[in-house]
Amino acid sequence: MTTTMTPGPATAPERKERPSAVTPAQLQSAGARRRQRWAQVKLRVGAVCALLVVVPVVLAGVLPLPGPNEQDLGARLLPPLTEGHLFGTDQLGRDLLSRVLYGGRTSLMIGVLAILVSGLIGIALGAAAGFFGGWIDAVVSRLLEAQLSLPLLLMLLLVVALFGPSIPVITGVIAIAQWPEVARLTRSLVLVEREKPYVAAAQVLGLHRLSILSRHVIPNIVRAATLVVLLLLAQAVLLESALSYLGAGPERPFATWGRIIADGQDYITTAWWLVTLPGLFIVLLVVGVNLVGDGLRDRTRRPRRRPTQTKEA
Amino acid sequence: MTTAPLLSVEDLTVDFGAYRAVDGVSFTVERGHTLAVVGESGCGKSTIARALVRLLTPTSGRIVLDGTDIARLPERRLRPLRSKVQMVFQDPYGSLDPHLTAEAIVAEPMRDRSRRDRHAEAARLMDLVGLPSSALDRRPAEFSGGQRQRIGIARALATSPDLLVCDEATSALDVSVQAQVLKLLADIQAERGLTYLFISHNLAVVRQISEQIVVMRSGRIVETGGTEEVLHAPRQEYTRALRRAALDPATMRGLKPRDVVRNLQAATAA
Amino acid sequence: MVAPIPHDEKVPILEVTDFQVELITATGVVRAVDGVDLVIRRGETVTIIGESGSGKSTTAMGVLQLLPADLAVYSGSVKVGGVDLLTDRGAADRIRGRMVSLIPQDPMTALSPVHTIGRQLGEAVKLAGYDGEAAQQRSLELLEGVHIRQPAEQLRKYPHQLSGGMLQRVLIAIALAGHPVLLVADEPTSALDVTVQAGILDLLLELQERTGVGILMITHDLGVARLVSDRIHVMKDGRFVETGNAEAVVARPQQDYTQRLLAAVPELGPWDDRPRPETALTGGGTR
């Protein structure tokens, strides 16, 4: 249908309801929908993987398992799926599943505590550096850079060698290893937010700078920052595993995953489960947490309410 | 008997390192009046606005607001005076904290009052700018650009200021929304006797809303006077150039009247 | 110099019929353009004017087929020189940058900051089929055609070294590299100062006078629309609510919406452009 355009007085074309040209196939393959679906998939798969690890670890005490340190020299190196030993046994006859679950408690606890500490320190220092600038930024940034330039694992081993492999020391050491990344991201986020007019408006209203930082800036960046902190949980667990594999991990009350792997490495060709199954737990947790983080980040938010209608714009 | 002007800016200079953004600018604004500051980008008008609300500290000069020179006061002594001069910002999308409700935004300067007082006052301010009180618990994302600008105005009025600095307050709005917001500002001025400093690059808007005008270029004042007079019969060549370049659809004759813009610039690219 | 464009007068440069653009977003299907018709012939400027959200930019991007394939669904017909872009899928890629060019909105961000002007203009010129020495010559010609002084020197510069107005002229030069018959200008002056804007609009009018190029102009500014257009379409919510000759739409708007829009534009009124005796800076401020 064409409307001929002739120069002259203004005209208005007639109105009619028009059918949509969007096919169901196009709806399915549209970018926005695909991204949404993908984010959902990642979230679900990640949650399942992570829960597969976390739930048994948390429930370790109530599951009908032999104790993790119970030796049974008559039942050494049994393969997985043997009667009474789902994951098999190690060279001292200890049930592997039980060791992995109880060890996991310590690993997870260290991981969670470490990211809590590194998260708090990182966000606080990063926000202060980004917002106030000046000497605070100079000090924090130089500390950040210095730490990032040190070889991480060697540094951690040194600290453990000096102060002993106890749980508080290991947690502290991992937290210290991780805070620079959180701080650096938070600093960037705050630098961007700081230039926005609503921050200037708060200043014009007469708020103190610290108030502006805590009441306006931090609440707006905290979501992005905590996402990074969540992703660091995986890194914390990996770091702890690396430390305990190298023999610098906590030994009491239970050997953690890295140590279990270290203990089993001599038998890698004869009793593969001693190394592979704890490793699998680590992989599941790390992949699960990372997928959950990705899914949360990519998830598109549906607007909860329709825009406000008023008679004036 | 003449009363002192509400705002008197004397020889204001603002340097950013070696770059002089504002170079010895002086003007006054009478209580209850509106002064427009116009010019192209880089002329220093926004810098003046930021200096007036002390978002930056001028290098030298005086800003005498209601008898007190606030130009270089330390923050501690400036803070109690900040309530007298507030700002309406250009960007409706960045000037409101996205995670707060409209009520929290508007009631922000009233932290020391009771919760009930704050709520009542916030509702009153929202009503003043033409927004329903049902909008109080909504977040900026649920409002249109014009509505957000109204919230920004309500927030600026919450401290009962004497002077409102509008920094391109309608430049980012659609023309029909702009008309509504300009009317709102005029109504509020009539009702409360507020004084406005209106920064803009749009001469037609400035004609509508101001009585006095200051034309700026490269940090200096080029021309001042009554708005109507300066826009109708500008004296300075630069003002004439600005005026010529302003496209007023109502005065154009014929199709594609190229003469309106021909040779407005010397034959170079901008 | 930019040569006049040979063109068959009987076939419109652009003929848009019943054009509809639907966008598939995460929250549903949005009908950004709801059935619009327009025609542009040689030497004509047709302007779509509207407020934010009206669909005017989407119309321009849709005509050029520049919207992401997994977002936009087109229907209707868009004929450039008689060829329907919606039925002939490869046609859009063939004509974009050649028969039809885009002049984008913000000159400060439309050019790559890490390449020189010469390099970016050169890319467009090479795409148009020039090589080596001829390409260099053509680049200089194009810059002269948009009234950039000392073009050889400017070719060596980076975008951050040029002002907004000069960058917009460079963008126009790039758009002209392929001898287009149609220019699509999406708010080409919104980001510029008013005196600079005047220069750019003058340039566009001059180019049209000289070469007969057609222009599809998108703007929210009624002054700009009135100045450069033969015809104006007023757009709201994806539809044209009023269409007509530029003079008629501005002087005698028929539709409610157009009347309200025009009423909302503040007036400057007539003025006296005679030089006055230069007094020292009119001092005294306010009285």
Write down the pLDDT at residue C1: 38
Write down the pLDDT at residue B62: 96
Q: How many CB atoms lie within 10 A of CB C229?
A: 25
Write down the pLDDT at residue C279: 56
What is chain C's mean pLDDT, rounded?
A: 89
Nearest to C260 among B33, B176, B211 (CB): B176
Question: Which residues of A sit within 8 Å Cβ distance of B?
Answer: 196-198, 200-207, 216, 219-220, 303, 305-308, 310, 312-313
Q: Cβ contact (<8 Å) for C271 and B234?
A: yes
Write down the pLDDT at residue A3: 42
Residue A10 predicted with pLDDT over 60: no
CA distance linking residue C97 with residue C272, whole number of Å = 44
User: Could you tell me the domains of chain A?
Assistant: 59-68+93-298 (1.10.3720.10)
Write down the pLDDT at residue B265: 57
Band of the pLDDT at C32, cuts 50, 70, 90? very high
CA distance linking residue C72 with residue C58, whole number of Å = 10
Band of the pLDDT at C177, cuts 50, 70, 90? very high
Provide the whole-model pTM: 0.87
CA distance linking residue B234 with residue B247, whole number of Å = 16
Q: Which B residues 154-173 touch A at CB under 8 Å?
A: 155, 159
Nearest to C147 among B30, B236, B267 (CB): B267
Band of the pLDDT at A250, cuts 50, 70, 90? confident
| Full 3-state SS string of C9-28 | CCCCCEEEEEEEEEEEECCE
Band of the pLDDT at A309, cuts 50, 70, 90? low
**What percentage of chain C has pLDDT greater than the value 90?**
70
User: B254 contacts in C (CB within 8 Å)?
Assistant: 247
Q: Are C112 and C120 in contact (CB under 8 A)?
A: yes
Write down the pLDDT at residue C278: 59
Write down the pLDDT at residue B12: 96
CA distance linking residue B191 with residue B133, whole number of Å = 21
Write down the pLDDT at residue B59: 96
Band of the pLDDT at A81, cuts 50, 70, 90? confident
Write down the pLDDT at residue C2: 43
Residue B220 buriedness (CB in 10 A; 0-12 / 13-18 / 19+)? middle
CA distance linking residue B252 with residue C251, whole number of Å = 10
Nearest to C211 by CA among C179, C187, C238, C169: C179
Band of the pLDDT at A245, cuts 50, 70, 90? confident
Nearest to C196 among B27, B208, B270 (CB): B270
- The single residue listed with the structure tokens 């130089």 is A142
Band of the pLDDT at C49, cuts 50, 70, 90? very high
Instruction: Give me C180's structure tokens.
Output: 């287009």
What is the rounded average pLDDT of the residues A49-77?
87
CA distance linking residue B183 with residue B13, whole number of Å = 33
For chain C, what is the total number of helices (H) and then of strands (E)? Answer: 11, 10
User: B79 contacts in A (CB within 8 Å)?
Assistant: 206
Identity (one letter) of the amino acid at B118?
A: R
Query: Is residue C208 helix, strand or coil?
Result: helix
What is the rounded average pLDDT of the residues A159-185?
90
Residue in chain C closest to A32 (alpha carbons) equals: C26
Residue A254 predicted with pLDDT over 80: no
User: Could you tell me the domains of chain C?
Assistant: 14-263 (3.40.50.300)
User: A8 contacts in B (CB within 8 Å)?
Assistant: none
Q: Give the up-direction half-sphere exposure of residue A191: CA atoms within 13 A in the CB hemisphere.
A: 13
Residue C161 predicted with pLDDT over 60: yes
CA distance linking residue B5 with residue B30, whole number of Å = 4
User: A307 contacts in B (CB within 8 Å)?
Assistant: 142-144
**What percentage of chain A has pLDDT greater than the value 70?**
90
Band of the pLDDT at C83, cuts 50, 70, 90? confident
Write down the pLDDT at residue C285: 40
Q: Are B230 and B213 in contact (CB under 8 A)?
A: yes
Write down the pLDDT at residue C59: 95
Write down the pLDDT at residue B79: 93
Write down the pLDDT at residue B3: 76
**Counting one residue from B and one from C, how many pairs have CB atoms under 8 Å apart?**
189
CA distance linking residue B177 with residue A313, whole number of Å = 6
Q: Cβ contact (<8 Å) for C196 and B254?
A: no
Write down the pLDDT at residue C163: 92
User: A9 contacts in C (CB within 8 Å)?
Assistant: 244-245, 248, 252, 254
Residue C280 predicted with pLDDT over 60: no
Distance from CA of C261 to the nearest CA of B (A): 6
Complete DSSP assignment for A189-240: HHHHHHTSHHHHHHHHHT--HHHHIIIIIHHHHHHHHHHHHHHHHHHHHHHH
CA distance linking residue B244 with residue A123, whole number of Å = 54
Q: Cβ contact (<8 Å) for B176 and A203?
A: no
CATH number of B7-260: 3.40.50.300
Instruction: Give me B235's structure tokens.
Output: 């004296």
Residue B39 buriedness (CB in 10 A; 0-12 / 13-18 / 19+)? buried
Band of the pLDDT at C264, cuts 50, 70, 90? very high
Band of the pLDDT at A4, cuts 50, 70, 90? very low
Residue in chain B closest to C228 (alpha carbons) equals: B256
Residue A1 predicted with pLDDT over 50: no
Q: With a cut of 50, list the residues of chain B below it in pLDDT.
A: 1, 266-270
DSSP assigned state of B250? G
Nearest to B177 among A305, A306, A313 (CB): A313
Residue in chain A closest to C244 (alpha carbons) equals: A10
Nearest to C50 by CA among C249, C220, C185, C223: C220
Establish if A20 touches chain C: CB-CB under 8 angstroms. yes
Establish if A313 touches chain C: CB-CB under 8 angstroms. no
**End-to-end CA, chain C:** 55
Residue A33 predicted with pLDDT over 60: yes
CA distance linking residue B13 with residue B51, whole number of Å = 10
Q: Which C residues 258-287 touch A at CB under 8 Å?
A: 258
Q: Cβ contact (<8 Å) for C255 and A12?
A: yes
Write down the pLDDT at residue A248: 83
